[in-house]
Structure 1
């Protein structure tokens, strides 16, 4: 899969919009889930996902293969989210790409359905650095090493943040009433 992703990215670098659409199909659900957990707003997460794919289109030639394509994509998504959260205007939309069906997929529907759950609320209350790690590892499903690469921190720090996040979630959820 990683070789296929790198090959797709090489095609994107050469201007193949079909390759970008295939990369989007492969990663949009996971990227959207991560972004939704990061920003907490479906519309903003969708906009950031589009900003991310535009950034991929523009910078695909700069991919050096030092990390997995998925790590590279999540790092771009994270950067785009922080640009948006800091109030910087995103780049103008890119219209030349044939986009796949924008209807939400199963992952997006599950994440949206959990949006009002006690767990989602507790995750939303975590500090940003813990919420980032939880979103990358549990929502996006990245391995610890890839999450560390996206965040630019050691794997041990990812493990520590996950440990503290789990403990905070357990404390928060233990104090909530269970519906009868």
Structure 2
């Protein structure tokens, strides 16, 4: 019984000891250091080694500055429509828009109104993140910038929308005081 136990232990222990010995010899000098002694260069090499066998990321998973530019079909773009050209150039790029709520609302009212607008946009498959920047102002961040113009068409129709700003161009809401005075 004891001899069987001894043989089993040897079968488990001996390969482990030898494999550790051989693995230590295969490691580069920087990898033999204690992890607490690693400097920035050692950590960078470790990260590169870690990512070595990873599959490459899909283009939409890459950071925006590494993504390939979207292919623009110039035949589909109307040269007399600068807004259409701008919209096509923002396809697949992050874009921020500023939305101003009318009638001097409180911060809580702005929160509720813009949350409702964001939900409506999401329900129409327009993904926008929303950030309040003032009591009556919010940023809508679009991961696909071309969606900002579709969102603009929706937002300017809303009764509480004073204006929306896209790429430094201000679009007045149809119910804003400025538009009513022009009529």
Per the TM superposition, whether the score is higher than 0.5 is no
Higher relative contact order (CA 8 A, sep 6+): 1
Query: TM-score range with shorter-chain normalisation?
Result: under 0.3
**Richer in strand (by share):** 2
Give TM-score scaled by structure 2 length.
Answer: 0.24
Higher helix share: 1
